[in-house]
Amino acid sequence: MRTAAILVSISLALACGADAGKAAPGGEKKAEAPKVQAPEAKAPETKAAESKPAPLHLDVSHDKSGVLARAASTLETSEAVTSPALKEHLAELSHHAEKGPTNEALCAHMAKLMADKAPPAVDCIHALEHQRVHVGPEIFAEVARCVTEAQTLDALLRCEDAEKEAERELHVKKRGSGVEPETCTKLFTHFEKLAMADAGDQAKAVEEILEEVRADILEACAEQGTRAEVDCALSAKDMQALGACQSSLM
């Protein structure tokens, strides 16, 4: 029995040894090498989109113009009006808006940036005439600076957005004396009459410009016009006397 048990043990040992030998030389089982994963393919790097410049916001507190300054500035900055006498009388009223670019010069620059999207020149000029009355010469000087410095269509549109925002803010922040509509109409008619008389043979051009912005001047009179400047203007006999009227919001 003992001999038989020993033989069985030897047989089992030999069988195990044979299996181990098949696994690895020397009877030791070799550990499997860890699998190496291929590196994940990286997505192609995309160029980060260029960030757009921050919106431009104009400080409407810079606006110092009453209704006379607004009306004078849009008339003075037209290349259709060259009368030296009228220009001289408009300069003081408009807070020297003539020192900035004319509407025609601005529109020429804008047309280059807009290319085939540019509106007819006359439409562009009319739009700027309206804007000058809406925001006054101080704020429009900042708009004009923005436009002349713009080198791309996006930059130009940034200027336009800022101007529209300023219009809305000034419409809310009325600083005039609340002059009646009837009185504002009298003011417009009187201003137009004096300006046409001063313009001589350019009277028709003056009339056309002022009639284009009539509604804007009436609105500016109601919202930004002061009683003192309106009363003074209605008493003026000519453009020289009109120049003595206060056109600033103090």
Would residue 30 count as lying in a domain? Answer: no
Report the SS3 class of residue 243: coil
Q: 65-115 pLDDT, tens per residue? A: 999 999 999 999 999 999 999 999 999 899 999 999 999 999 999 999 999
- Ramachandran angles phi, psi of 65, nearest 5°: -100, 130
In a domain, 136, yes or no: yes
pLDDT at 89: 93
> Does residue 32 fall inside a structural domain?
no
| Exposure class string for 192-230: b at 16+ Cβ within 10 A, else e | bebbbebbeebbebbeebbeebeebbbbbbbbbbbeebb
Q: Does residue 27 sit within a domain? A: no
Q: Report the alpha-carbon distance of residue 185 to residue 244 in Å, rounded.
A: 21
**Average pLDDT in the 10-24 region?**
43
**Is 73 a domain residue?**
yes
**Of the candidate ranges 148-152, 202-206, 244-248, the one whose mean pLDDT is the lowest:** 244-248
pLDDT over 80 at 225, yes or no: yes
Query: Which pLDDT tens digit goes with each residue over 37-59?
Result: 555 555 555 444 456 677 889 99
* Domain annotation covers residue 23: no
Q: What's the domain count of the chain?
A: 1
Q: How far apart are the first and last CA of the chain?
A: 128
Q: How many CB atoms lie within 10 A of CB 5?
A: 9
Q: What are phi and psi of 247, to 5 degrees?
A: -110, 15
In a domain, 195, yes or no: yes
